């Protein structure tokens, strides 16, 4: 069934826009009028082909972008509430389409409803849009449909999506201010060296007197920035391109990930972030009835570090051969001892999902505390660094002035 985008007016005169599925434009207009919307424009949505679009199994592309973790968490929570209320699946999705304000998500849900009407399962309909609904989402929904526990699975998915969105907001809020301070400070420094310093120090060079070492260093830096800024930008761009290409190779990615884990402070943070995601995702998948081998395969693709991904692949191979989960995690040496011990206890007691969830809570808290410490450390360090540079510039300018004053007296 075609999808139509529309704009129209409500009975109160408010302008609205959205999408609707109908057999024809005429049917779409009639359906809108029945809902109290008087359409001013109705046109069929055209499929778009792009590298960022969602594609169906037959190659059709709908041009949908990613949806934020926050919007997906809210959608999942509303979906779980509607299912719990006992509404039919099609009616639930229709209600979600009416409630969602984001046009892209409306289009996705409209296509999902169309797929279900054509006889697909909910999981298969969601899988058509991998850039919106991840493998975790689809597999958990599939397990919920097969075990008739879709309501409980959606509630777990909402909890999981909210926890991931909360962790993402924590990371973003912790790093945004220090990054802005560093960028602004660097811009101010470049402005001082390329424009202000040459204007102020020109008078000193015209006197012909020998200048202090600090002033000569400042003039040298200023001259270099003023005359060779383009070469610096070119060097940074070329170096960044070469580094990016190297990191995208298998050997380069492995080298970079190993280096990242060995960094004194950042390495521990990267490890904790990946471990928290591993534990939280695996716990959520297992609690929703997803087989452990499938769950480990999904978790592998969520880890950002290639060394940790390889370790989880080894764990999956061990489990496939009948081994335990904790032993290969411990042998890898990449996972904290607390996690491996909690996994071992969970396997012995049959409470693996619960122990993984507790471990995820622990590491989420560690990440939050570490980011808070990073923020509190970066701010004064940035201020001290900029203060030191500005002090050097001021002294380099004042020293020749003192020499001139002594000469006059």
CATH no. for residue 380? 1.20.81.30
pLDDT band for 238, please (50, 70, 90 cuts): very high
Dihedral angle of Cα 317, 321, 326, 329, to the nearest 10 degrees = -20
Mean pLDDT across 75-101: 86
Which DSSP helix (H) or strand (E) runs through 316?
helix 306-320
In the predicted structure, residue 205 carries a pLDDT above the cut 80: no
For the chain, the maximum distance between any two Cα atoms, rounded to a whole number of angstroms, is 97
Contacting residues for 74 by C-beta, under 8 A, at least 6 apart: none
Contacting residues for 58 by C-beta, under 8 A, at least 6 apart: none
Edge-to-edge order in the sheet of strand 3-10: 15-21, 3-10, 37-44
Mean pLDDT across 34-61: 55
Q: Identify the domain boundary among 46, 62, 83.
A: 46
Residue 239 lies in a domain: yes
CA distances from 117 to 1, 109, 125 (A): 9, 12, 10
Least confident of 49-63, 162-176, 275-289, 373-387: 49-63
CA distances from 177 to 136, 173, 174, 376, 382 (A): 32, 7, 7, 11, 11
Residue 406 has what pLDDT? 62
In the predicted structure, residue 62 carries a pLDDT above the cut 50: no
Kindly report the pTM of this predicted structure. Answer: 0.63
- CB neighbourhood size of 265 (10 A): 11
pLDDT tens, 10-46? 777 777 776 676 777 777 778 777 777 888 887 776 5
Task: Name which of 41, 42, 154 is nearest 87 in CA terms.
Answer: 154
Residue 292 lies in a domain: yes
In the predicted structure, residue 49 carries a pLDDT above the cut 80: no
Tokens of 255: 């080298």
Residue 103 lies in a domain: no
Q: Which residue has the tokens 């950002």?
A: 304
- Looking at the structure of the chain, the number of domains it has is 2
User: Do residues 50 and 77 touch, judged by C-beta distance below 8 A?
Assistant: no
Mean pLDDT across 184-194: 79
Residue 306 lies in a domain: yes
Mean pLDDT across 76-83: 87
Residue 381 has what pLDDT? 84
In the predicted structure, residue 244 carries a pLDDT above the cut 80: yes
Residue 173 has what pLDDT? 77
Residue 60 has what pLDDT? 39
Of 188 and 319, the one with more pLDDT: 319
Residue 66 lies in a domain: no
pLDDT tens, 298-312? 888 778 888 888 888
Mean pLDDT across 305-328: 87
Residue 136 lies in a domain: no
Average pLDDT score over the chain: 79
Residue 90 lies in a domain: no
Residue 108 lies in a domain: no
Of 172 and 47, the one with more pLDDT: 172
User: Do residues 124 and 137 touch, judged by C-beta distance below 8 A?
Assistant: no
Sign of CA dihedral 199, 202, 203, 209: positive
Residue 45 has what pLDDT? 62
Q: Identify any residues that bridge with 6 across adjacent strands, giving them in sequence order.
A: 18, 42
CA distances from 102 to 19, 21, 66, 97, 337 (A): 11, 17, 12, 9, 43
pLDDT band for 75, please (50, 70, 90 cuts): confident
In the predicted structure, residue 59 carries a pLDDT above the cut 70: no
pLDDT tens, 337-387? 889 999 899 988 888 888 998 998 888 888 888 877 877 777 788 888 888
In the predicted structure, residue 52 carries a pLDDT above the cut 50: no
In the predicted structure, residue 64 carries a pLDDT above the cut 60: no
User: Do residues 361 and 275 touch, judged by C-beta distance below 8 A?
Assistant: no
- The share of the chain scoring above pLDDT 70, in percent, equals 89
CA distances from 372 to 166, 167, 388 (A): 14, 12, 25
Q: Which domain holds residue 376?
A: 183-409
pLDDT tens, 102-112? 777 888 888 88
Residue 61 has what pLDDT? 39
Instruction: Give the span between the Cα atoms of 230 and 238, in whole angstroms.
Output: 12
- CB neighbourhood size of 383 (10 A): 12
């Amino acid at each position: 069934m075609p999808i139509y985008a529309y704009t129209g007016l409500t009975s109160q005169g408010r302008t609205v826009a959205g999408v609707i599925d109908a057999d024809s434009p005429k049917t779409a207009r009639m359906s809108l009028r029945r809902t109290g919307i008087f359409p001013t424009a109705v046109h069929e949505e055209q499929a778009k082909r792009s590298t960022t679009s969602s594609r169906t199994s037959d190659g059709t592309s709908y041009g949908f972008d990613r949806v934020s973790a926050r919007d997906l968490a809210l959608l999942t929570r509303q979906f779980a509430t509607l299912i719990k209320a006992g509404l039919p699946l099609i009616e639930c999705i229709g209600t979600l389409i009416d409630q969602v304000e984001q046009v892209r998500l409306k289009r996705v849900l409209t296509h999902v409803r169309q797929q279900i009407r054509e006889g697909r399962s909910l999981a298969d309909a969601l899988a058509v849009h991998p850039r919106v609904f991840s493998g975790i989402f689809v597999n958990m929904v599939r397990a919920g449909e097969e075990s008739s526990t879709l309501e409980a699975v959606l509630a777990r998915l909402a909890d999981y999506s909210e926890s991931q969105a909360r962790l993402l907001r924590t990371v973003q809020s912790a790093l945004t201010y220090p990054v802005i301070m560093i960028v602004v400070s660097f811009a101010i420094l470049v402005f001082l060296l390329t424009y202000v310093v040459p204007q102020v120090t020109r008078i000193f060079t015209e006197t012909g007197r020998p200048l202090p070492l600090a002033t000569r260093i400042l003039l040298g830096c200023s001259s270099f920035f003023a005359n060779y800024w383009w070469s610096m930008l070119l060097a940074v761009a070329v170096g960044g391109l070469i580094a990016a290409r190297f990191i995208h190779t298998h050997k380069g990615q492995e080298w970079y990930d190993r280096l990242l884990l060995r960094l004194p402070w950042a390495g521990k943070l990267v490890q904790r972030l990946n471990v928290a995601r591993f534990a939280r995702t695996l716990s959520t998948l297992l609690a929703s009835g997803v087989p452990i081998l499938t769950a480990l395969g999904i978790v592998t693709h969520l880890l950002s570090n290639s060394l940790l991904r390889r370790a989880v692949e080894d764990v999956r191979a061990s489990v496939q051969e009948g081994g335990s989960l904790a032993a290969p995690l411990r042998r890898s040496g990449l996972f904290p001892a607390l996690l491996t011990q909690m996994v071992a206890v969970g396997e012995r007691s049959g409470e693996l999902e619960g122990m993984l969830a507790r471990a995820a809570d622990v590491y989420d808290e560690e990440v939050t505390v570490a980011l808070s410490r990073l923020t509190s450390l970066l701010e004064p360090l940035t201020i001290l660094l900029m203060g030191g540079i500005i002090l050097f510039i001021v002294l380099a300018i004042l020293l020749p002035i003192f020499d001139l004053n002594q000469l006059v007296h």
